[in-house]
């Protein structure tokens, strides 16, 4: 009956209580949303590359190698010679190897030279393969496959010509050898979206008339002549490697790291991703802290609402006292009320989160490549909700104490 | 303020006459145990209130005293039945005397001339006269030995006043309940067993209780 009365009292003050509940629901929704985006981003990040056992490149730092080979951020300090590449490729424990050649760009996007095997071997989001949205994977030397972001930003269609610039943010373009868009990939949410993919030979081809990073004046080789040339690269930037058996990963890693002919580095993508996330992770902590502060603000708002309601409710409390309620009961009722507000707010916040998820999930996936799964609340989220309810009870102790004192002083007669 | 002496026998109906500010509220608070005297004793139903802890006094009030105020008696957001049954929540013995809560509440409403379907109505939707009758039903439920009414009719018009008082008298007589009513209206005097003037028992300062 007391719960029913407390509930009735809340309903009677529907407007202010509703506002308070809304504030708590919004803050809880925000917090859970941030939590969702955070875990989603983390998972998405960790899912940038999967199915690859090792990434091999010239010796540098593991995070640096990961950054330029997978995220196309920064540059390789050195290359992996074709001989070393062949050496690794011919090892018995190597199942497959895909070379990557970077260094050129198209507008703001990086150009990556690789083999067609890349499209079979590159996996993201736990084993998902790249898929072609439009067109067909390159068959000609001057064919390119572009990522979804490249296509949408530059408005490219199948068959459009592309001129590759030498280096990054460079004005010297490989104008002699224009490429053609042969396929556009589906959005993946990985750096592939922002990459122009060409064949490994094409990278060599566009540099036929170049030497030491500059065009040889007056020299221009016709596309047909280039086609007939030997376009075997002398070096690649990095290579993605798959091993035959899981257990061979570490052996192969050690062998590559101790490769005598050239200083090389082999990294486990998962480990390097985690290292990188630890750097990026500071932002997530800040985000969490801000949304936690929003919850605290909402709870303080609730405390203020209860405080300001006390005066108009003196009569109500006097009636309870006259009927034999102890001041302690009044105290308990106010705590109960705050707990109810907190609980309703928390549940509404959870509901709000799911509504937003249902609406925003495809939009976020499309525009940011961030996949937010709609799962039943995880243990961690349940604990957050319980924490909010507990915090509302604790916060309400302050106004409840005041009500206790007021009802003790007023007794059953209110002098207003 | 001090009270020289004031007694109320079981089953007696007493009218306490006094102007506002004459100390009525303080006297009632003393009897109900929400305040305790600085000296002297207050005993209700043979129990010395000063010897009880504050929590015990609260429960004692719930068990033994039915209260009706001038107005704003009810929790406006609660239903009539919840309002009537509210004191029983704090008084287990008084509750045990009621065999069927809902039937008893219905019976009381009936006896007090309230319509049958009023039980689930929200208290705030009732007229002032109806609210006072619900308050009376709440005071009477579980037949507490003492009913205290603090100017229960002052918010009512003359016709409703006499009907309300008659109903209250009938009910308390039927249950053998003592009735202490506080009012400034001397015209009500002839309906009570005894009339006590506040001025006769209270001196503004000093003296014995």
Closest chain A residue to the Cα of B82, Cα to Cα: A1
Pick the most confident of A124-138, A335-349, B155-169: A335-349
Query: Averaged over B190-206, what is the pLDDT?
Result: 75
pLDDT at residue B22 tops 90: no
Residue to substitute from B58, B120, B182, interface A, most A β-carbons within 10 A: B58
pLDDT at residue A264 tops 90: yes
pLDDT at A416: 46
pLDDT at residue A415 tops 60: no
Q: How confident is the model at residue A176 (pLDDT cuts 50, 70, 90)?
A: low
CA pair distance A102, A237, nearest whole angstrom: 6
- The Cα of B56 is separated from the nearest Cα of chain A by a number of Å equal to 9
Residue to substitute from B64, B75, B135, B138, interface A, most A β-carbons within 10 A: B75
Query: Averaged over A290-305, what is the pLDDT?
Result: 90
Q: Do residues A81 and A234 touch, judged by C-beta distance below 8 A?
A: yes
Region of poorest pLDDT, from A35-39, A360-364, B157-161, B173-177: B157-161
pLDDT at residue A171 tops 60: no
Instruction: Burial-class residue A311 by CB neighbours within 10 Å (0-12, 13-18, 19+).
Output: exposed
pLDDT at residue B107 tops 90: no
Q: What share of chain B is helix, strand, coil (3-state, %, to 5)?
A: 45, 15, 40
Q: Which residues of A touch B73 (CB under 8 A)?
A: 319
Q: What is the interface pTM, i.e. ipTM, of the complex?
A: 0.87
Q: What is the 3-state secondary structure (H, E, C) of A226-241?
A: HHCCCCCCCEECEEEE
- Continuous segment of H or E residues that includes residue B180: strand B178-183
Q: How confident is the model at residue B48 (pLDDT cuts 50, 70, 90)?
A: confident
pLDDT at residue A73 tops 90: no
- List pLDDT tens digits, range A203-255: 888 777 666 566 666 666 666 677 777 778 888 999 999 998 888 899 999 99
Domains of chain B by range and CATH? 2-203 (3.40.50.300)
- Mark A353-379 as b/e (b = at least 16 C-beta within 10 Å): beebbeeebeebbeeebbbbeeeeeee
Q: Which residues of A touch B61 (CB under 8 A)?
A: 322, 324
- The Cα of B93 is separated from the nearest Cα of chain A by a number of Å equal to 13
Do the Cβ atoms of B72 and A315 come within 8 Å?
yes
- List pLDDT tens digits, range A115-138: 989 998 898 887 888 888 888 887
pLDDT at A393: 93
**Angstrom distances, CA of residue A95 to CA of A80, A89, A101, A128:** 19, 8, 20, 19
Q: Give the tokens for residue B182.
A: 């506080």
CA pair distance A221, B59, nearest whole angstrom: 105
CA pair distance A260, A59, nearest whole angstrom: 12
Q: Which residues contact A359 (CB under 8 A, 6 or more apart)?
A: none
Q: Which residues of B touch A5 (CB under 8 A)?
A: 75, 77-78, 82, 86
Q: Give the tokens for residue A318.
A: 């006097």
Q: Least CB-CB distance to A325: which of B25, B77, B90?
A: B90
Region of poorest pLDDT, from A95-109, A325-339, B157-171: B157-171
Instruction: Burial-class residue A286 by CB neighbours within 10 Å (0-12, 13-18, 19+).
Output: exposed
Closest chain A residue to the Cα of B64, Cα to Cα: A324
């Amino acid at each position: 009956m007391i719960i029913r009365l407390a509930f009735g009292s809340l309903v009677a003050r529907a407007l202010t209580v509703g506002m308070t509940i809304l504030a708590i629901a919004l803050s809880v929704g925000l917090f859970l949303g941030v939590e969702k985006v955070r875990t989603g981003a983390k998972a998405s990040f960790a899912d940038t590359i999967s199915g690859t056992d090792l990434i091999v490149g010239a010796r540098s730092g593991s995070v640096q190698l990961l950054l330029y080979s997978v995220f196309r951020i920064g540059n390789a300090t050195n290359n992996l010679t074709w001989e070393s590449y062949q050496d690794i490729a011919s090892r018995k424990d190597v199942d497959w190897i895909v070379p990557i050649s970077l260094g050129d760009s198209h507008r703001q996007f990086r150009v990556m030279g690789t083999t067609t095997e890349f499209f079979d071997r590159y996996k993201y989001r736990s084993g998902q393969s790249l898929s072609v949205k439009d067109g067909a994977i390159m068959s000609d030397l001057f064919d390119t496959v572009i990522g979804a972001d490249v296509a949408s930003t530059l408005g490219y269609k199948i068959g459009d010509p592309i001129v590759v610039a030498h280096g990054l943010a460079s004005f010297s373009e490989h104008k002699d050898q224009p490429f053609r868009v042969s396929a556009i990939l589906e959005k993946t949410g990985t750096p592939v979206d922002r990459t122009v993919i060409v064949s490994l030979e094409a990278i060599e081809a566009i540099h036929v008339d170049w030497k030491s990073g500059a065009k040889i004046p007056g020299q221009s080789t016709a596309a047909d002549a280039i086609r007939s040339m030997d376009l075997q690269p002398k070096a690649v930037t990095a290579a993605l490697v798959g091993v035959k058996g899981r257990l061979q990963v570490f052996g192969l890693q050690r062998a590559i790291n101790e490769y005598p002919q050239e200083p090389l580095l082999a990294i486990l993508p998962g480990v390097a991703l985690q290292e990188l996330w630890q750097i990026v992770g500071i932002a997530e902590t800040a985000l969490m802290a801000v949304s936690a502060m929003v919850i605290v603000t909402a709870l303080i708002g609730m405390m203020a609402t209860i405080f300001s309601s006390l005066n108009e409710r003196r009569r109500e409390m006097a009636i309870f006292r006259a009927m034999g309620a102890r001041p302690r009961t009044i105290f308990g009722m106010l705590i109960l009320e705050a707990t109810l507000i907190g609980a309703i707010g928390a549940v509404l916040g959870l509901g709000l989160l799911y509504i937003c998820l249902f609406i925003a999930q495809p939009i976020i996936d499309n525009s940011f490549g961030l996949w937010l799964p709609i799962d039943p609340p995880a243990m961690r989220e349940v604990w957050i909700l319980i924490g909010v309810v507990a915090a509302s009870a604790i916060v309400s102790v302050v106004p409840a104490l005041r009500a206790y004192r007021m009802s003790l002083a007023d007794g059953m007669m209110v002098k207003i | 303020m001090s009270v020289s002496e004031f007694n109320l026998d079981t089953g007696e109906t007493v009218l306490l006459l006094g102007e506002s500010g004459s100390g009525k509220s303080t006297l009632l608070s003393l009897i109900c145990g929400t305040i305790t005297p600085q000296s002297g004793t207050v005993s209700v139903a043979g129990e010395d209130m000063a010897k009880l802890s504050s929590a015990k006094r609260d429960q004692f009030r719930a068990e033994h005293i039915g209260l009706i105020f001038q107005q704003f008696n009810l929790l406006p957001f609660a239903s009539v039945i919840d309002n009537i049954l509210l004191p029983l929540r704090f008084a287990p013995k008084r509750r045990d005397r009621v065999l069927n809560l809902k039937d008893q509440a219905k019976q009381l409403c009936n006896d007090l001339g309230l319509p049958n379907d009023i039980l689930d109505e929200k208290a705030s939707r009732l007229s002032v006269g109806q609210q006072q009758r619900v308050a009376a039903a709440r005071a009477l439920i579980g037949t507490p030995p003492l009913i205290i009414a603090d100017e229960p009719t002052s918010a009512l018009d003359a016709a409703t006043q006499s009907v309300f008082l008659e109903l209250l008298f009938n009910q308390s007589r039927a249950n053998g309940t003592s009735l202490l009513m506080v009012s400034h209206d001397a015209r009500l005097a002839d309906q009570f067993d005894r009339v006590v003037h506040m001025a006769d028992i209270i001196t503004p300062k000093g003296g014995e209780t």
